[in-house]
Structures are given as structure tokens and as C-alpha cells.
Amino acid sequence: RGIDAGGPRCPGNGGAKALAASPRLKRLRALQVADCRIGGPGGAALAASPHLANLESLSLNSLGWGTRAFAEFLAAAGLPALR
């Protein structure tokens, strides 16, 4: 199971927060978000989501994040199954 939330399907900050809060993500194995302006609040929500623990594949491209924001996301993310 996977979700491609990039480009025209970009959820933005509000959508990223809603996505992160959804218990349906517990079965999600792959998440791709590209060409999307998810800022700090959306990224923080995804990183803190307890529902992404089974995520095996994560693709984050062209989000407008700098190196520091991306490093903070990875440090905060509870993604034990990520390969």
C-alpha cells in the first residue's frame, strides 16, 4: 500500500497534518511527497505521527526544505521499518 501525494495532489501543511493524524496510515508501506510545499508544521506532523511506524519507503523531493529542516525531520521521525 502506498500514497503519492505530490504535484497536483499536494496536501500542503493542513493536508499533511490531517494525513499524519489518520489511523488508516497504520497499513501504509510507502509514501511519496514531491514538488510540494509542505512547511515545518506539516513536516513536524508527519515526523511525529505514530501511524507511520510501518512505513518502509519514504520519498521526499522538492519540498522547499533546507538541509537543517530535513535533518530535523529525520531525527524526529519514528520510522523503525524504514529501509
| pLDDT, tens digit, 9 for 90 and up, residues 6-54 | 566 667 778 888 888 989 888 889 888 777 777 777 778 888 888 888 8
Greater pLDDT, 83 or 30: 30
Instruction: Give the DSSP letter of residue 28.
Output: -
Greater pLDDT, 53 or 62: 53
pTM over 0.85: no
> What gap in Å lies between CA 1 and CA 3, rounded to an integer?
7
pLDDT of residue 81: 82
The SS3 call for residue 40 is helix
